[in-house]
Chains A and B, each alone.
Chain A
Amino acid sequence: MGKEAVTLKGIKDGIMVILDSDMPFGQVCEQTAKKLCEVIDFFKDGSSRILFSGRIIGAMERISLEQAVMDILQRDVTVEYQTDGPGLPVRQAVKGDPGKFHRGTLRSGQSVKSSGNLVVIGDVNPGAELIAVGNVVVMGCLRGIVHAGCNGDKNAIVAAVKMAPTQLRIADIITRPPDGEEDAQWVPEIAYIKDGNIYIDDYLSRNNLLKN
């Protein structure tokens, strides 16, 4: 292994943990735990601060890191993050346009368009349509037609608490759910383009989140 996944550095009141920005997060997290075990004595004399830096750390990743720290040190420490980019693994969609926010159920025949991102708090019923230049997030059941990245942005995503669209379009790719049985159980899902296909993944499953 040529490059260390994790480098430790002493700072005032504690240590700085510099994480490699290219390696998979799972590996980085594992290495962090290992390194912390080696320096556990360091925290016995009152040091109480850990500063993570070196890569963008998402919300779920932060939870994993904090859990690892707690497991090893068995005491309260201040965990801080030093990152350059946005903390959450959400894609930046459209610069300049704050997007649109719709509250309430969208019914058949209704249509909401946004020149930025689009957030709907409520259900989107069959026959309703959502069209956005950026990403679309539905905090409810998505049963209608949705088109994210309608100007061709293949990085656009669609997320819904309950994903059951009549048709799902991202950029110039159109998909529809397979004919036949509906999913018995519902979990929040996220749709994105990978290798020219639209994939829909469980949003809560950590592994899927970390891939982004």
Chain B
Amino acid sequence: MGEVIVITSGKGGVGKTTTTANIGAGLAMESKSVVLIDADIGLRNLDVVMGLENRIVYDIVDVVEGRCRIKQALIKDKRYPGLFIIPASQTRDKNSVSPEQMANLTAELRKEFDYVLIDCPAGIEQGFKNAIAGADKAFVVTTPEVSAVRDADRIIGLLEANGLKDPKLIINRIRPQMVKKGDMMNIDDILDILAISLLGVVPDDENIIISTNKGDPAVADDHSKAGQAYRNIVARTMGHKVPIMEMDEPGFIDRLKRLFGVKVG
């Protein structure tokens, strides 16, 4: 039986879809069988980020309404043999699917796959309720902005109220230089408020924009810091212990401190 993980944030534009695509691709790179579900019905993006838009025949609404079998709606990724996506419908809205239907769909999929990742829409309405219905774990994505953290806090409360205990946090798009200058919330500030365990920190990286536009997840890029961060998140998702990576090239003093076993930053 596979795990069903919902990737959510509350606020829009913090990187849920990018995170879903990268974790999915990363797990597939580790030879896991993975299916990604785009639950953002009416505003589908996941297929675009994955570069699979032109292969869509059936979508999630077709599946729940019985117009096709689940297998027919699964789109095979062009890079990784174990990776599939179920796209959202672009012509319908969130009310086309009910939480029960989502729970049934994920229950079917988890029999076949190691991981079922659900890309949750922004907001806390029907789309959110659908996305979390079948999940047994949740990853909350936030950026180091007060508004995103506020929404993440609200989402964590709602997840906990819906029985999704112990959600994990992904801090996206952090800029180490700004944090250093005190112009950006640091990891501790965010953890202080949200008080949940940290799954990973992804630095702001131009490569992400390039790879997202090309439909090619950055997780496979060995030269990208964000790619490395996603690979670490993937390892942690699989239960491996990986330390949170250094965001910055350590200075002389930091290296000296590390030499003497003093905890750095």
CB nearest neighbor in B for A110: B157
Q: How far is the CA of A127 from the CA of B154 in the complex (A)?
A: 8
B195 contacts which of A109, A110, A123 (Cβ < 8 Å)?
Answer: A123
Alpha-carbon distance A108/B154, docked complex (angstroms): 5
Interface size class of A (residues with CB under 8 A): 10 to 19
Q: Would you call the interface of chain A mostly helix, strand, loop, or mixed? A: loop
- Tell me, rounded to whole Å, the shortest Cβ–Cβ distance linking A141 to chain B: 8
User: B189: shortest Cβ distance to chain A, in Å?
Assistant: 11
The 8 Å CB contact of A108, one of B151, B160, B192, B195, is B151
Which B residues touch A32, using CB under 8 A? none
A144 to B88 Cα, complex, angstroms: 37
Q: Is the CB of B150 within 8 A of A127?
A: yes
Say whether B158 faces chain A, with CB atoms less than 8 Å apart: yes
Residues on the B chain within 8 Å of A143, using CB: 193
B153 touches A (CB below 8 Å): yes
| A125 on the B face (CB < 8 A) | yes
Which residues of chain A are near B154, meaning CB under 8 Å?
107-109, 127
Complex Cα spacing A105 to B153, Å: 10
Q: How far is the CB of A88 from chain B (nearest CB, A)?
A: 30
Complex alpha-carbon distance, A14 and B8, angstroms: 70
Task: Report Cα–Cα, A99/B234, bound state, in Å.
Answer: 46
B157 proximity list for chain A (CB < 8 A) = 106-110
Name the residue of chain B whose CB is nearest to the CB of A140.
B195
Collect the chain A residues with CB atoms within 8 Å of residue B160's CB: 107
Contacts of B151 in A (CB 8 A): 108
Q: Which residue of A lies closest to B152 (CB)?
A: A108
| A126, CB-defined interface residue at 8 Å | yes
Q: Mark A94-138, 1 if CB is under 8 A from B, else 0.
A: 000000000001111110000000000001011100000000000
In the bound complex, do residue B195 and residue A105 qualify as a contact, i.e. CB atoms below 8 Å apart?
A: yes
15 A-B pairs (CB sep. < 8 Å):
A105-B195, A107-B153, A107-B154, A107-B157, A107-B160, A108-B150, A108-B151, A108-B154, A110-B157, A123-B193, A125-B153, A125-B193, A127-B153, A127-B154, A141-B192
Residues of A whose CB lies within 8 Å of any CB of B are: 105-110, 123, 125-127, 141, 143
4 smallest A-B Cβ distances: which pairs?
A107-B157, A108-B154, A108-B153, A109-B154
